[in-house]
Chain A
């Protein structure tokens, strides 16, 4: 069942694929599933360990991180690891995992930052009543995210993709007593789930076009998708998924609203994981879908707009978390733009920028949370001089901000260098992209300086709480991540060989040589572009307040945003469904029945007329010969008697002077039908029919006792004519259909099989019963479940009719209290 294979990441070129043992392989699945197990245990762990829950649970992501490091050697050698488990064998669907440079960078980021976040959450929510639940959601989200980046099967990818949406819904709405949190959660769920549907459609399309669910298999096929006539459709599906998840303009608005989540959630989901899933998907599909003009244009344009939009949005805000959320939108735009460019430099820049962003953004979010936690506010205008009181937090913030600005000796520097490198000396459109990049980076640098200086330096302002240093669990994240941003920044060789090479190689599909160096070359235009960016960044910082005023004025002038549009659409949807419900669910039983029987008549006559069924029953040639058609069947006198009974019953229903008589007459008619069944060799049917008739008479009588039994219903002629017509149509339709069936030759294969095998293999002489309980027992099981469900619905209706206001006095008998219906009523 477990297939063990080691594939080379670059199937055609690399020779260095290292075969790995099966134990290591199966571990990938464990990596993706272990957090879910931990999540299930988290509430119990919290109950027993209290304040130490965070420290204890952090071992799970930490050990995953260490375990994943074990793959590093294989992956940097150009290899990849595959693990596949049987999932739905009937459809040849496997739960397959795949680790190459790209997956490994993402997975290490997720588990590494995840460790710090779990630690941080333990301190941030210390003493919170639902901390166990929160950590459970966090770990489940981490599992979903790890599964997403490690999955090879498109369906597994979709599954984990949706799981991230659902867990993020739970996390954003964690503080569910607040309306804003609920709204943010629902909005994120709606938008990302629309993307999920796109992804599912795309996955199915790809499978139909290539015949494989595995993305590694699709990549190996090369240009199949690009050359397909459905290429644009496939592209739309994947872009729809990626743009919603990664908050690209104009679908970005859910991300700022998701800031209603507790800060650890934002630090984890909205920096380096959840929102990066879209970027990951684009990078993953880049070898199969990328490189075309459509791809480049769409990604570069959307990414560029998102970059500038998010960077400007950040300057508009004063809330630290909102500022960071907007810069995340900008960074996501930047990453999408780089993937769209698709050149070796752009891809290399994307990989390095992803890493740099993960380090500094998660760190800054944690800093924002720590400031909020200890000073009581996140308003940047209300904060100042915190560096004295919270020096360690300040160091963490500064290290992250320096990387965000992109100064030398940080990893952010290399990201910026690399993206400019690919754009030098191109045509006019390349220059345009370069201008956008410089502008975006400058704006982000300005924001970074703002975040670093405004709350921490300058005059100390009074805050709601007396600020003091955060606990160590909350400092570990910013400090370690900030330090990582610097340490990686001074090791360009390692960064180039162990991160950039495998990561960019996996995206572009060919080996990528690193050329990162610490040396500053004053003759290179790159340095001057960087210097320009920094200078502009300082300018933006100095004018931040003025820019904010202008941007807010523009906002007010426009008056509406994508956010308000979303609300309008949602309300329109609710109103529309309300209108549809009122139209279809009008509550008039009579009309329901008219619709049901009219549809039945239509279903009976439509096909019969369309395919000339009537002609088959009565060939037009024989129409003249009426006597032949009118010949009476040869029935014995007692048989005529039963037929007469049925007719009498029918007429009695129609002319009955009171309701009671009508009900009883209907019973007479039904009994006559049962007798007919009995005469013509269907004893089971007759038996059942008889019992159903008796019971329906009883039940109808009960129902009617609520009305008046001794009355006759006076109906308007129009109603009478309409119902009569429908009744005749349905009756005639069924009769004609039966005649049609009898005219054809019956396919007797099934009945022959049942007759032949009923006794030998099913040990029963009553074939009808054997069919019901054995041959098609599964159907019967469904049917009895439906019977019971219908029964419960009827009981609910009956109970409702009595009205909830009717107070039933409590019954003293102990035996009664066990009956749910009594308790409920």
Chain B
């Protein structure tokens, strides 16, 4: 699998996939997409990158353990639901904030953070599994 072509192109493909995954995640509220699909795309990109440059390099590039990203995702999703308790509403009542930004406005909401949490969980878990499977050959688990 480690041809020169693949190794050269992989970083480009991976970069595009990662950016696209974030785009898919954020547009999910109005267009097809969402955290789950975004996370899948990102995890696939990590798997591809692992094939190209090796697991150790990917782990260094990720800086944190993928499982930690997954854990952060669960906490983020849960915490976004907790926020509504401060307004006296039940758990997970959505809160919306429209930030005026020049001409347009930037909608921020707790469901968005929730979706980012989902993204992190799917991304982290699947990357961790994919990297573990790949790393078998390199004695790096």
The interface of chain A, by Cβ under 8 A from chain B, is 683-684, 687-688, 691-692, 694-695, 698-699, 702-703, 705-706, 762-766, 768-770, 772-774, 777-778, 780-781, 784-785, 787-788, 790-792, 794-795, 798-799, 802, 806, 808, 815-816, 819-821, 825
Contacts and interface: CB of A to CB of B under 8 A. Distances in A.
Contact of B77 (A765, A781, A816): A781
B141 interface: yes
Nearest to A784: B121
Given A694-B44, A765-B30, A785-B74, A687 B94 contact: no
A93 B97 CA distance: 38
Given A703-B133, A773-B115, A788-B70, A764 B44 contact: no
B94 A791 contact: no
A688 B122 CA distance: 12
Nearest to A802: B141
Interface in B29-80: 29-37, 40-41, 43-44, 47-48, 59-60, 63-65, 67, 70-71, 73-74, 77-78
A781 B78 contact: yes
Given A773-B114, A778-B92, A788 B31 contact: no
B91 A778 contact: yes
A166 to B, nearest CB: 29
Contact of A788 (B43, B73, B94, B134): B73
Contact of B34 (A706, A773, A794): A773
A695 B28 contact: no
Given A787-B125, A792-B67, A821-B141, A687 B37 contact: yes
A774 B89 CA distance: 14
A685 B63 CA distance: 32
A265 B96 CA distance: 58
Given A687-B33, A773-B114, A788 B44 contact: no
7 contacts: A684-B34, A687-B32, A705-B137, A765-B30, A769-B33, A791-B126, A799-B132
B22 interface: no
B10 interface: no
B71 to A, nearest CB: 7
Contacts of A773: 28-29, 34-35, 111, 114-115, 118
A511 to B, nearest CB: 51
B70 A702 contact: no
Nearest to B48: A698
Given A768-B34, A774-B114, A821-B67, 15 more contacts: A684-B32, A688-B37, A691-B44, A698-B44, A698-B47, A699-B47, A769-B115, A777-B92, A787-B70, A787-B121, A788-B74, A788-B121, A792-B67, A798-B132, A799-B132
B65 to A, nearest CB: 5
Contacts, number: 157
A700 B74 CA distance: 26
A780 B114 contact: yes
B14 interface: no
Interface in B79-135: 81, 91-92, 94, 96, 107, 109, 111, 114-115, 117-118, 121-122, 124-126, 128-130, 132-134
> Which of A780, A802, A808, A815 gathers the greatest number of chain B CB atoms within 10 Å?
A780
Contacts of A784: 73-74, 77, 117-118, 121-122
A354 to B, nearest CB: 48
Interface residues of B, number: 56
Given A694-B44, A788-B124, A766 B28 contact: yes
Contacts of B67: 788, 791-792, 795, 820-821
B133 A699 contact: yes
B78 to A, nearest CB: 6
A754 to B, nearest CB: 14
A788 B71 contact: yes
A706 B36 CA distance: 29
A698 B1 CA distance: 13
Contact of B81 (A687, A699, A769, A777): A777
A785 B134 CA distance: 24
B34 A695 contact: no
Contact of A769 (B29, B65, B71, B139): B29
A739 B118 CA distance: 33
Nearest to B112: A773
B29 A765 contact: yes
B34 A772 contact: yes
A769 B117 CA distance: 14
Contacts of A703: 133
Nearest to B91: A778
Nearest to A791: B125
A819 B65 contact: yes
A790 B128 CA distance: 11
A709 to B, nearest CB: 12
Contact of A781 (B48, B81, B133): B81
Nearest to A761: B94
Nearest to A820: B65
Nearest to A764: B29
A398 to B, nearest CB: 63
A674 to B, nearest CB: 12
A765 B27 CA distance: 10
Nearest to B77: A781
> Which of A694, A705, A788 gathers the greatest number of chain B CB atoms within 10 Å?
A788
Contacts of B64: 819
A762 B111 contact: yes
Contacts of B78: 781
Given A688-B37, A784-B122, A788-B74, A764 B141 contact: no
A791 B30 contact: no
A770 B29 CA distance: 6
Contact of B40 (A691, A774, A790, A799): A691
B130 A702 contact: yes
A769 B34 contact: yes
Contacts of B118: 772-773, 780, 784
B140 to A, nearest CB: 8
Contacts of B117: 784
Contact of B107 (A684, A691, A763): A763
Given A773-B35, A795-B67, A702 B59 contact: no
